[in-house]
A and B are shown apart, each in its own frame.
Chain A
Amino acid sequence: MTYPAHFDATLNLVKETRKFRKTQEIRRLNDAERTGLISGFHPDYRVEGMAGLRIGPNKGDRVPVELARVLEAYSLFDPHLLNLEDPDYVTDILIVGGGGAGCAAALTAAAGGADVLMATKLRLGDANTLMAEGGMCSAVRPEDNPYMHYIDTIGGGHYTNVPELVKALVMDGPEIASWLMSLGVMFDYEPDGSLKVNHCGGHSRKRMLSCKDLTGLELMRVLRDELRDREIPCLEFSPVVDLLLDREGACSGAVLYNMETAQYTTVQAKSVIMASGGIGRLHIRGFPTTNHYGATADGLIAGYRAGAELIHMDSIQYHPTGTVWPEQLLGQLITEVMRGHGAHLVNASGERFINELECRDTCASACIRECSERGNGVTTPTGFEGVWLDTPLIPDIKNHFVGIYQRFKKYDIDIQHEPILVYPTQHYQNGGLRITSQAETSLPGLFAAGEVAGGIQGKNRLAGNSLLDIFVYGRRAARRALEVNGKAAAPGCLSAGHLNRWHGKLNKLGVSEEQRSPLLLPDYTPK
């Protein structure tokens, strides 16, 4: 494959300017410059493509139209046909999603003595967690501390984060690292036995712990293995498509859909922990995504229909460096750690245009500006645009970034000698179900953890903070559910009345009954 011939001129410019760029100092933007750049070029700030929600607890809030369409939609099934008298499963805690947050919650809840049932969409571990390359931030080093982690996180989130949630995040961080070590996670170490730490965008300290460039895979493998050892039951290919309430309106279970037999089943639970991950496969604004196949916002939808409040759902994270060429890898992530190790962002003429260690929204906006207003992008044969990530600047790249090196090698691109063409890709859902520092949503009985929860990261998440957040809040959700379950009476009769009412409202708005959600999986077959 390699690069198309018409890239030669720009590739030469990148090569020629490399030596000079190494000596070049690009200062960081001040707050005003940063705000100007983001409000001018970040997709979140474009009014077109946003819609006001017409029903539900966040009525009036503006969210991307792709999300509005699935939030304001009918259930996949007819609520009247559900078997609510005699549920198919009865458990203490139902955990929705088999990614990092769900597994952390399940292990913690089971260790606390609860009867746990997990339900997940694909196989256990098919999740965004498994795809994380870079690593997990935790302020463990003596040179670092939770206070600095707090300032970095809240500054990176442009002061929109819910402060209590950030406090819990940074304060639990070291304990999470220790928990993962004891579970047998192979973190990277320096020869002197200290933890290897990487720099990454927006952090003022080196605090990203890693497992080579397959951190998520290693975490997910270990958690999955431990879940099996603890014999925690998990229903695979059985996504939750709606929640069930009790007579008092508290969350008391869910409806599962078996994607292979097309059957619906019901679960009665004292508490439900939503850990269903992100939204990437809705392809907000047509962007490609880094997310796994099942990231279709289901948890937001089921939660919202049952009355749980959302926060910051107008805010989507575009990772600055998604692959543009080869097209087979379109949208796939190139980890930020590459910039941490010195790779420059360079336009078609070989010029740097931003300090590469700025936060994600800033770098992404700068890439978009380069390709749009400034006309300095590189255009592919099929009309995609991108800028260069100059990987040959990274020493020993072949060993440090084995996965990425090999991925490109298959397409005859040697990233030791050639840069990678990149453009922002839809990466993370900043907002989500609003939670408290105990992971409670606004709906009693429903907890949320991980990417589906919102408020922790504000409107811009820092690198490495999500892998931490999923474990912090997965564990907190389980602990809180254990506490509350102890006090709760046995759940009352299950009800799906909220769905009937929701459908009534949609009907009044004139929403077509064809509009159903969740999507469960995107459809990539030709239309």
Chain B
Amino acid sequence: MADLIPIYYLGKKYMVPEGVTIMGAVEYSGHRLVRGCGCRGGFCGACATVFRVPGNHQIKVGLACQTRVENGMDIAILPYYPAQKVLYNLSAVKDPSQELQKLYPEMYRCLGCSACTKICPQDLPVMDIIAEAQRGNLPAVAELSFDCVMCGLCASRCLAQMVPYNIAMVARRLYAHFNLPRPGYVGARIREIEQGVYDQKIDDLLDKGQEELQKLYAERDIECI
């Protein structure tokens, strides 16, 4: 059994095993989470957590399911943080590079304080992402923001009160929709299927017995790695 260390969850003291995650510690303390927990694997951003550790004036953050407890840590898992999202219609967009500034003009109020970058639990360069968004550089915003789990911490810290993760969301979709290739063979395959090219071949298999299928399966040729 690991040694027990003290933590403070919402200001109350609990003794929890050393080395467990914040989420594990909170549950060990008897709390059954409803908010603040989604995937338990670092993907969903439901468990954005703010904390302080003794002897340090800084506010720190992490995902509760990914961050280990420290001695004396003072913790709050954020249940929710309000965000603004502007509605848009991707297929009706005329000029993708102008779209971000049209939807989110507040991004030009960025003060360059970098609080968003400092707080991002995914270590994303959030302020740089906003700078690229201001320039309408969709590929850069899309690539730099790809690992965003939309936990909301950047929005909670922004002095200009914008919601960086929603801005990046639009940029990624615009980039994918307008800039990424659409290989012709995908459409060609869809047309083949519509024309019924494969129907007969597959229908012939539908009522084949297991033995025949087994033979086909065993003899199929396998593409090399």
Answer yes or no: A340 CB below 8 A from chain B CBs. Answer: yes
Query: Given A328-B24, A525-B31, does the pair A186, B176 have CB atoms closer than 8 Å?
Result: yes
Query: Given A159-B213, A181-B182, A229-B87, does the pair A175, B193 have CB atoms closer than 8 Å?
Result: yes
Closest to A146 in B: B198
Give every chain A residue within 8 A of B146 (Cβ-Cβ).
186, 212, 214, 218
Closest to B203 in A: A167
Give every chain A residue within 8 A of B82 (Cβ-Cβ).
none
Answer yes or no: B177 CB below 8 A from chain A CBs. Answer: yes
Closest to B179 in A: A186
Q: How far apart are the CA atoms of A403 and B44 in the complex, in Å?
A: 13
Answer yes or no: A505 CB below 8 A from chain B CBs. Answer: no
- Which residues 109-160 of A have a CB within 8 angstroms of B? 122-123, 125-126, 130-131, 139-143, 145-148, 150-152, 154-155, 159
Answer yes or no: B20 CB below 8 A from chain A CBs. Answer: yes
Answer yes or no: B181 CB below 8 A from chain A CBs. Answer: yes
Closest to B172 in A: A186
The interface on chain B, measured as residues whose beta carbon lies within 8 A of the other chain's beta carbons, has a size of: 71
Question: A146 touching B19 by the CB < 8 A rule?
Answer: no
Q: How far apart are the CA atoms of A398 and B80 in the complex, in Å?
A: 32
Give every chain A residue within 8 A of B198 (Cβ-Cβ).
145-147, 171
Picked from B38, B147, B176, B187, the residue with its CB within 8 Å of the CB of A123 is: B38
Picked from B39, B180, B217, the residue with its CB within 8 Å of the CB of A151 is: B217
Q: How far apart are the CA atoms of A511 and B191 in the complex, in Å?
A: 55
Answer yes or no: B220 CB below 8 A from chain A CBs. Answer: yes
* Interface-side segment among A220-228, A367-375, A447-455, A479-487: A220-228
* Interface-side segment among B88-96, B126-134, B153-161: B88-96
Picked from A140, A171, A342, the residue with its CB within 8 Å of the CB of B225 is: A342
Answer yes or no: A524 CB below 8 A from chain B CBs. Answer: yes
Q: A29 to nearest B CB, angstroms?
A: 11
Answer yes or no: B32 CB below 8 A from chain A CBs. Answer: yes
Question: A184 touching B206 by the CB < 8 A rule?
Answer: no
Q: How far apart are the CA atoms of A326 and B28 in the complex, in Å?
A: 18
Answer yes or no: A521 CB below 8 A from chain B CBs. Answer: yes
Question: A122 touching B38 by the CB < 8 A rule?
Answer: yes
Give every chain A residue within 8 A of B76 (Cβ-Cβ).
none
Answer yes or no: A259 CB below 8 A from chain B CBs. Answer: yes
Q: When each residue 185-225 of chain B gets 1 if its CB lies under 8 Å from chain A and 0 otherwise, what string results?
A: 11111100100001001110111001001101110111101
Query: Given A171-B193, A187-B180, does the pair A122, B46 have CB atoms closer than 8 Å?
Result: yes
Question: B44 touching A151 by the CB < 8 A rule?
Answer: no
Question: B183 touching A231 by the CB < 8 A rule?
Answer: no
Q: Chain A, interface size: which category?
A: 35 or more
Query: Given A181-B176, A328-B20, does the pair A140, B186 have CB atoms closer than 8 Å?
Result: yes
Q: How far apart are the CA atoms of A525 and B23 in the complex, in Å?
A: 11
Q: Which of B181, B207, B210 has the most CB of A within 10 A?
A: B181
Question: A155 touching B43 by the CB < 8 A rule?
Answer: no
Q: When each residue 218-253 of chain A gets 1 if its CB lies under 8 Å from chain B and 0 otherwise, what string results?
A: 100110011011010000010000000000000000
Q: When each residue 27-59 of chain B gets 1 if its CB lies under 8 Å from chain A and 0 otherwise, what string results?
A: 110111111011111111010000000000000
Query: Given A125-B44, A225-B173, does the pair A30, B218 have CB atoms closer than 8 Å?
Result: yes
Q: How far apart are the CA atoms of A205 and B220 in the complex, in Å?
A: 10
Give every chain A residue within 8 A of B185 (Cβ-Cβ).
140-142, 194
Query: Given A152-B220, A186-B146, A186-B172, does the pair A332, B91 have CB atoms closer than 8 Å?
Result: no
Question: A174 touching B193 by the CB < 8 A rule?
Answer: yes
Give every chain A residue within 8 A of B213 (Cβ-Cβ).
151, 154-155, 159
Give every chain B residue within 8 A of A54 (Cβ-Cβ).
none
Answer yes or no: B120 CB below 8 A from chain A CBs. Answer: no
Question: B202 touching A167 by the CB < 8 A rule?
Answer: yes
Give every chain A residue within 8 A of B182 (Cβ-Cβ).
178, 181
Query: Given A164-B206, A206-B223, A293-B40, does the pair A193, B30 have CB atoms closer than 8 Å?
Result: no
- Which residues 312-353 of A have a CB within 8 angstroms of B? 328, 332-333, 340, 342
Picked from B39, B87, B203, the residue with its CB within 8 Å of the CB of A228 is: B87
Q: How far apart are the CA atoms of A403 and B225 in the complex, in Å?
A: 23
Q: How far apart are the CA atoms of A293 and B32 in the complex, in Å?
A: 11
Question: A199 touching B39 by the CB < 8 A rule?
Answer: no
29 contacts between A and B (CB under 8 A): A122-B46, A140-B186, A141-B185, A151-B205, A151-B213, A155-B216, A155-B217, A164-B206, A174-B186, A181-B186, A183-B90, A184-B173, A184-B175, A185-B176, A186-B175, A186-B176, A195-B183, A204-B220, A206-B223, A225-B170, A229-B87, A260-B35, A292-B40, A342-B225, A410-B68, A521-B33, A524-B24, A524-B32, A525-B28
7 shortest A-B CB distances, which residue pairs?
A184-B173, A155-B217, A126-B38, A193-B181, A184-B177, A184-B176, A524-B27
Contact surface of A with B, Cβ cutoff 8 Å: 1, 30-31, 122-123, 125-126, 130-131, 139-143, 145-148, 150-152, 154-155, 159, 163-164, 167, 170-171, 174-175, 177-178, 181-187, 189, 193-195, 199, 204-206, 212, 214, 216-218, 221-222, 225-226, 228-229, 231, 237, 259-260, 290, 292-294, 328, 332-333, 340, 342, 402-403, 407, 410, 521, 523-526
A143-B223, A221-B169, A294-B38 known; 6 new pairs, CB 8 Å cut-off, are: A151-B205, A181-B177, A186-B175, A205-B223, A212-B146, A525-B31
Contact surface of B with A, Cβ cutoff 8 Å: 19-21, 24, 27-28, 30-35, 37-44, 46, 66, 68, 85, 87-91, 142, 146-147, 149-150, 169-170, 172-177, 180-183, 185-190, 193, 198, 201-203, 205-207, 210, 213-214, 216-218, 220-223, 225
